[in-house]
Structure 1
């Protein structure tokens, strides 16, 4: 049985679009599965979705559906909240900056540029 998974797109730092294709079918996670895997209460997860800190969409029945990366994102949010005592607005900013850093590091790896060759480091 083959399930079609549409490509996931995301905006990058230069307003271009990156398309991610699943090489194998990746099951989406429901709220209960994410809560179980992350150890967080479902109501807190709903709040984080409402704040835009965790990606989720609603299925045909109106239930929240999460990408497989959601538990890792929730763990990162919890580390930022407890370790740095950040509020949720600050966490959103930090998550955006970490994503941008990851994109820039990936671009550096692709270009073959070493960080010691960059003038601002």
Structure 2
């Protein structure tokens, strides 16, 4: 499950990685060297836990369950996108408000993301659905 734009760091392409998560160069990438023009802000586990009001172990568990996306930095620590606290707040609202288990929360998050994409596509075409958005 992905809650971040795909290919954001690779210019729209999905990068391949080996078993250790390190990028693998393909023949097309052999001559291409890419540098980030602006450093991408990343959050540590402790920062995400503090901002979301959760214990760091629970944040790690949510990563293992696939409810929030995280990457590993060069030293192997988990780093998060700046939107991770908002995603975790959404997980907590679904858990407490609808009494869903974590497996079903993943499904609900995917469906909500899909609904948002479909509504955005309708707005881009200049058409609206008959009813106002329910979210």
TM range (shorter): 0.7 to 0.9
**Would you say 1:109 and 2:112 are equivalent positions?**
no
**More helix, by proportion:** 1
User: TM-score by structure 1 length?
Assistant: 0.76
User: TM-score by structure 2 length?
Assistant: 0.69
Count of aligned residue pairs for this structure pair: 103
Alignment of 1:6-25 (within 5 A): 6-7=9-10, 25=39
Deviation string 1:5-40 (CA, Å, 9 cap, x unpaired) is 825869xxxxxxxxxxxx965411010110111010
**In structure 2, distance between residues paired with 1:104 and 1:91:** 20
**In structure 1, distance between residues paired with 2:118 and 2:47:** 32
Q: Residue 75 of structure 2 corresponds to which residue in structure 1? A: 61
* Structure 1: tracts of 5 or more residues without a match: 11-22
**In structure 2, distance between residues paired with 1:60 and 1:24:** 18
Q: CA RMSD in A?
A: 2.6
